[in-house]
Structure 1
Amino acid sequence: MQNHKTHYTKTIPALLIALGLGLLSSSAVRAQDNNRSIVGLWDAHFYSGGAELFETHVQWHSDGLEFEVNSIYPGAVCQGVFKTENGVVKLHHVVFTYDANGVFNGRLDETQINTVGREGNRYQGKFDIKAYDLNGNFLGETTGIIRATRISVD
Protein backbone atom coordinates (compact mmCIF):
# COMPACT_ATOMS: atom_id res chain seq x y z
CA MET A 1 0.00 0.00 0.00
CA GLN A 2 2.90 2.32 0.75
CA ASN A 3 4.23 1.96 -2.85
CA HIS A 4 0.91 3.10 -4.32
CA LYS A 5 0.81 6.12 -2.01
CA THR A 6 4.38 7.08 -2.97
CA HIS A 7 3.53 6.66 -6.66
CA TYR A 8 0.49 8.97 -6.39
CA THR A 9 2.42 11.46 -4.27
CA LYS A 10 4.94 11.81 -7.11
CA THR A 11 2.51 11.53 -10.03
CA ILE A 12 -0.13 14.05 -8.94
CA PRO A 13 2.33 16.97 -8.45
CA ALA A 14 3.94 16.15 -11.80
CA LEU A 15 0.52 16.27 -13.49
CA LEU A 16 -0.31 19.58 -11.79
CA ILE A 17 2.98 21.08 -12.96
CA ALA A 18 2.37 19.88 -16.52
CA LEU A 19 -1.17 21.27 -16.45
CA GLY A 20 0.10 24.61 -15.13
CA LEU A 21 2.76 24.83 -17.84
CA GLY A 22 0.14 24.04 -20.47
CA LEU A 23 -2.09 26.85 -19.22
CA LEU A 24 0.84 29.28 -19.19
CA SER A 25 1.82 28.40 -22.74
CA SER A 26 -1.76 28.81 -24.01
CA SER A 27 -1.85 32.24 -22.32
CA ALA A 28 1.37 33.15 -24.12
CA VAL A 29 -0.14 32.06 -27.44
CA ARG A 30 -3.26 34.17 -26.78
CA ALA A 31 -1.07 37.18 -25.90
CA GLN A 32 0.93 36.67 -29.10
CA ASP A 33 -2.31 36.50 -31.14
CA ASN A 34 -3.50 39.76 -29.55
CA ASN A 35 -0.33 41.44 -30.84
CA ARG A 36 -1.36 40.26 -34.32
CA SER A 37 -4.78 41.90 -34.25
CA ILE A 38 -5.67 43.88 -37.36
CA VAL A 39 -7.83 46.28 -35.32
CA GLY A 40 -6.50 49.82 -35.70
CA LEU A 41 -5.47 52.36 -38.36
CA TRP A 42 -3.24 51.33 -41.27
CA ASP A 43 -1.45 52.90 -44.24
CA ALA A 44 -1.99 50.40 -47.09
CA HIS A 45 -0.49 50.25 -50.58
CA PHE A 46 -2.14 48.23 -53.37
CA TYR A 47 -0.01 46.74 -56.17
CA SER A 48 -0.95 44.97 -59.38
CA GLY A 49 1.45 43.74 -62.04
CA GLY A 50 4.37 45.15 -60.05
CA ALA A 51 3.05 48.73 -60.11
CA GLU A 52 1.45 50.62 -57.23
CA LEU A 53 -2.22 51.33 -57.97
CA PHE A 54 -3.05 53.50 -54.95
CA GLU A 55 -2.48 54.22 -51.28
CA THR A 56 -5.23 54.24 -48.68
CA HIS A 57 -5.86 54.64 -44.96
CA VAL A 58 -7.85 51.76 -43.53
CA GLN A 59 -9.60 51.52 -40.15
CA TRP A 60 -10.29 48.00 -38.88
CA HIS A 61 -12.76 47.99 -35.97
CA SER A 62 -13.18 45.36 -33.25
CA ASP A 63 -16.84 44.83 -34.25
CA GLY A 64 -15.84 43.44 -37.66
CA LEU A 65 -16.43 46.64 -39.65
CA GLU A 66 -13.80 48.23 -41.88
CA PHE A 67 -13.70 51.80 -43.21
CA GLU A 68 -11.36 53.22 -45.84
CA VAL A 69 -10.41 56.62 -47.23
CA ASN A 70 -8.77 56.12 -50.61
CA SER A 71 -6.29 58.25 -52.56
CA ILE A 72 -7.79 57.41 -55.98
CA TYR A 73 -9.97 60.53 -56.12
CA PRO A 74 -11.33 63.13 -53.69
CA GLY A 75 -14.09 61.80 -51.49
CA ALA A 76 -13.30 58.15 -52.22
CA VAL A 77 -14.73 56.46 -49.13
CA CYS A 78 -15.68 52.81 -48.84
CA GLN A 79 -16.47 50.18 -46.23
CA GLY A 80 -16.58 46.50 -45.54
CA VAL A 81 -16.99 43.64 -43.11
CA PHE A 82 -14.34 41.18 -42.00
CA LYS A 83 -13.72 38.14 -39.89
CA THR A 84 -10.57 36.51 -38.58
CA GLU A 85 -10.03 32.76 -38.80
CA ASN A 86 -6.81 31.03 -37.77
CA GLY A 87 -4.76 34.22 -38.07
CA VAL A 88 -6.15 35.08 -41.51
CA VAL A 89 -8.32 38.18 -42.00
CA LYS A 90 -11.00 37.87 -44.69
CA LEU A 91 -12.66 41.07 -45.93
CA HIS A 92 -15.68 41.81 -48.14
CA HIS A 93 -15.48 45.45 -49.18
CA VAL A 94 -18.02 47.53 -51.16
CA VAL A 95 -17.52 50.77 -53.08
CA PHE A 96 -19.79 53.10 -55.06
CA THR A 97 -18.16 54.50 -58.21
CA TYR A 98 -18.66 57.83 -59.96
CA ASP A 99 -17.59 59.35 -63.26
CA ALA A 100 -15.41 62.49 -63.60
CA ASN A 101 -18.52 64.69 -63.17
CA GLY A 102 -19.53 63.03 -59.90
CA VAL A 103 -22.38 61.00 -61.42
CA PHE A 104 -22.95 57.60 -59.82
CA ASN A 105 -22.06 54.94 -62.39
CA GLY A 106 -21.57 51.61 -60.65
CA ARG A 107 -19.93 49.72 -57.84
CA LEU A 108 -16.90 47.68 -56.91
CA ASP A 109 -16.88 44.48 -54.89
CA GLU A 110 -13.55 43.65 -53.30
CA THR A 111 -12.34 40.64 -51.38
CA GLN A 112 -9.11 40.51 -49.43
CA ILE A 113 -7.22 37.82 -47.57
CA ASN A 114 -4.64 39.32 -45.20
CA THR A 115 -2.21 38.13 -42.55
CA VAL A 116 -0.85 40.38 -39.80
CA GLY A 117 2.87 40.00 -39.10
CA ARG A 118 4.14 38.59 -35.81
CA GLU A 119 5.10 41.99 -34.42
CA GLY A 120 1.61 43.33 -35.19
CA ASN A 121 2.81 46.40 -37.09
CA ARG A 122 2.46 45.18 -40.68
CA TYR A 123 0.08 43.12 -42.73
CA GLN A 124 0.11 41.82 -46.25
CA GLY A 125 -2.34 40.01 -48.42
CA LYS A 126 -4.10 39.61 -51.73
CA PHE A 127 -7.04 41.51 -53.17
CA ASP A 128 -9.55 40.90 -55.95
CA ILE A 129 -11.64 43.87 -57.13
CA LYS A 130 -14.58 43.34 -59.51
CA ALA A 131 -16.30 46.31 -61.21
CA TYR A 132 -20.00 46.44 -62.15
CA ASP A 133 -22.15 49.03 -63.93
CA LEU A 134 -25.51 50.31 -62.63
CA ASN A 135 -27.30 47.30 -64.15
CA GLY A 136 -24.99 44.83 -62.41
CA ASN A 137 -23.09 43.95 -65.58
CA PHE A 138 -19.53 42.82 -64.93
CA LEU A 139 -17.01 45.33 -66.35
CA GLY A 140 -13.64 43.99 -65.28
CA GLU A 141 -11.40 42.69 -62.54
CA THR A 142 -8.12 43.70 -60.91
CA THR A 143 -6.07 41.48 -58.61
CA GLY A 144 -2.88 42.08 -56.71
CA ILE A 145 -1.16 42.37 -53.37
CA ILE A 146 -1.48 44.69 -50.37
CA ARG A 147 1.26 45.83 -48.03
CA ALA A 148 0.24 47.83 -44.96
CA THR A 149 1.93 49.47 -41.98
CA ARG A 150 0.17 50.29 -38.73
CA ILE A 151 -0.28 54.00 -37.92
CA SER A 152 0.24 54.59 -34.20
CA VAL A 153 0.47 57.43 -31.71
CA ASP A 154 4.10 56.63 -30.87
Structure 2
Amino acid sequence: MALMSLTVLAACTAPAVPSGLAPRFGEVKARFVTGRDVDVIEVRALESSAIRTATLVMPDGTRVEAEQIDGTPSPSLPTAPTAGIGLGAESTTLVGQVASAALIRLPDPPAYRQAWKAAVIDVTIGDGAGRRAERLAAPPPP
Protein backbone atom coordinates (compact mmCIF):
# COMPACT_ATOMS: atom_id res chain seq x y z
CA MET A 1 0.00 0.00 0.00
CA ALA A 2 2.79 2.43 0.92
CA LEU A 3 4.63 1.63 -2.31
CA MET A 4 1.50 2.38 -4.33
CA SER A 5 1.08 5.72 -2.51
CA LEU A 6 4.68 6.67 -3.28
CA THR A 7 4.21 5.71 -6.93
CA VAL A 8 1.10 7.88 -7.22
CA LEU A 9 2.86 10.78 -5.48
CA ALA A 10 5.89 10.48 -7.78
CA ALA A 11 3.64 10.62 -10.84
CA CYS A 12 2.22 13.96 -9.65
CA THR A 13 5.49 15.87 -9.38
CA ALA A 14 6.63 18.35 -11.97
CA PRO A 15 8.85 16.84 -14.66
CA ALA A 16 12.61 17.39 -14.71
CA VAL A 17 13.80 20.16 -16.97
CA PRO A 18 16.79 19.93 -19.32
CA SER A 19 19.51 22.32 -18.12
CA GLY A 20 19.08 24.58 -21.17
CA LEU A 21 15.42 25.23 -20.25
CA ALA A 22 15.86 25.50 -16.48
CA PRO A 23 15.76 28.99 -14.98
CA ARG A 24 19.01 30.54 -13.78
CA PHE A 25 19.24 31.84 -10.22
CA GLY A 26 16.77 34.69 -9.75
CA GLU A 27 14.73 33.74 -12.82
CA VAL A 28 11.10 32.65 -13.03
CA LYS A 29 9.84 31.02 -16.25
CA ALA A 30 6.44 29.82 -17.47
CA ARG A 31 5.88 27.34 -20.30
CA PHE A 32 3.89 24.41 -21.54
CA VAL A 33 5.82 21.15 -21.36
CA THR A 34 6.08 19.48 -24.76
CA GLY A 35 4.99 15.85 -24.69
CA ARG A 36 3.14 16.24 -21.39
CA ASP A 37 -0.39 17.33 -20.50
CA VAL A 38 -1.03 20.21 -22.93
CA ASP A 39 -3.61 21.79 -20.60
CA VAL A 40 -1.03 22.53 -17.87
CA ILE A 41 1.26 25.55 -17.57
CA GLU A 42 4.46 24.91 -15.65
CA VAL A 43 6.04 27.80 -13.72
CA ARG A 44 9.63 27.21 -12.55
CA ALA A 45 11.94 29.27 -10.37
CA LEU A 46 15.44 28.98 -8.94
CA GLU A 47 15.60 31.32 -5.95
CA SER A 48 16.66 31.50 -2.32
CA SER A 49 12.99 30.74 -1.44
CA ALA A 50 10.30 28.60 -3.06
CA ILE A 51 7.27 29.61 -5.09
CA ARG A 52 4.38 30.06 -2.63
CA THR A 53 1.59 30.94 -5.08
CA ALA A 54 1.14 30.99 -8.85
CA THR A 55 -2.07 32.31 -10.40
CA LEU A 56 -3.08 32.57 -14.05
CA VAL A 57 -5.06 35.80 -14.53
CA MET A 58 -7.16 35.90 -17.70
CA PRO A 59 -8.17 39.21 -19.36
CA ASP A 60 -11.77 38.81 -18.12
CA GLY A 61 -10.52 38.63 -14.51
CA THR A 62 -10.80 34.85 -14.15
CA ARG A 63 -8.11 33.64 -11.73
CA VAL A 64 -6.78 30.08 -11.79
CA GLU A 65 -4.58 29.04 -8.85
CA ALA A 66 -1.80 26.46 -9.21
CA GLU A 67 -3.08 22.99 -8.41
CA GLN A 68 0.36 21.87 -7.23
CA ILE A 69 3.58 23.53 -6.05
CA ASP A 70 6.77 21.56 -5.37
CA GLY A 71 10.12 22.77 -4.04
CA THR A 72 13.54 21.12 -3.83
CA PRO A 73 16.04 22.75 -1.46
CA SER A 74 19.72 22.63 -2.50
CA PRO A 75 19.01 20.92 -5.84
CA SER A 76 21.73 19.04 -7.73
CA LEU A 77 22.39 19.77 -11.37
CA PRO A 78 24.50 17.57 -13.66
CA THR A 79 27.78 19.09 -14.78
CA ALA A 80 29.03 19.01 -18.35
CA PRO A 81 30.64 15.68 -19.25
CA THR A 82 34.42 15.62 -19.33
CA ALA A 83 36.76 13.55 -21.45
CA GLY A 84 38.16 10.47 -19.81
CA ILE A 85 36.91 7.55 -17.85
CA GLY A 86 34.53 8.30 -15.03
CA LEU A 87 32.70 6.04 -12.66
CA GLY A 88 29.58 8.15 -12.45
CA ALA A 89 27.96 11.35 -13.48
CA GLU A 90 29.13 14.41 -11.60
CA SER A 91 26.75 17.02 -10.30
CA THR A 92 26.81 20.41 -8.63
CA THR A 93 24.70 21.02 -5.53
CA LEU A 94 23.20 24.50 -5.38
CA VAL A 95 23.42 25.08 -1.62
CA GLY A 96 21.06 27.76 -0.31
CA GLN A 97 18.90 27.73 -3.43
CA VAL A 98 15.44 26.26 -3.99
CA ALA A 99 14.22 24.88 -7.31
CA SER A 100 10.45 25.08 -7.37
CA ALA A 101 7.69 24.33 -9.85
CA ALA A 102 4.01 25.22 -9.91
CA LEU A 103 1.46 23.52 -12.18
CA ILE A 104 -1.58 25.48 -13.37
CA ARG A 105 -4.31 23.47 -15.14
CA LEU A 106 -6.28 25.41 -17.75
CA PRO A 107 -10.03 25.15 -17.02
CA ASP A 108 -10.93 26.23 -20.58
CA PRO A 109 -8.11 25.56 -23.11
CA PRO A 110 -10.02 27.02 -26.13
CA ALA A 111 -10.62 30.30 -24.22
CA TYR A 112 -6.93 30.39 -23.26
CA ARG A 113 -5.86 29.92 -26.90
CA GLN A 114 -7.93 32.96 -27.86
CA ALA A 115 -6.89 35.26 -25.01
CA TRP A 116 -3.39 34.14 -23.94
CA LYS A 117 -1.61 37.28 -25.22
CA ALA A 118 -3.48 39.40 -22.66
CA ALA A 119 -3.20 36.86 -19.81
CA VAL A 120 -0.55 37.03 -17.07
CA ILE A 121 0.76 34.77 -14.33
CA ASP A 122 1.21 36.28 -10.86
CA VAL A 123 3.85 34.47 -8.81
CA THR A 124 4.71 34.94 -5.13
CA ILE A 125 8.12 33.73 -3.96
CA GLY A 126 9.18 33.38 -0.34
CA ASP A 127 7.65 34.44 2.97
CA GLY A 128 7.92 37.35 5.39
CA ALA A 129 10.36 40.17 4.67
CA GLY A 130 11.93 38.21 1.80
CA ARG A 131 8.60 37.76 0.02
CA ARG A 132 8.38 39.16 -3.50
CA ALA A 133 5.92 39.14 -6.38
CA GLU A 134 6.56 38.63 -10.08
CA ARG A 135 4.20 39.06 -13.02
CA LEU A 136 4.97 36.91 -16.06
CA ALA A 137 3.52 36.97 -19.54
CA ALA A 138 1.42 33.88 -20.15
CA PRO A 139 3.19 31.38 -22.43
CA PRO A 140 1.91 30.75 -25.96
CA PRO A 141 -0.31 27.66 -26.23
CA PRO A 142 1.28 24.53 -27.68
The higher-RCO structure (CA 8 Å, 6+ apart) is 2
| TM-score computed with the length of structure 1 as normaliser | 0.30
More strand by share: 1
TM-score (norm 2): 0.32
Q: Flag the structure with higher helix content.
A: 1
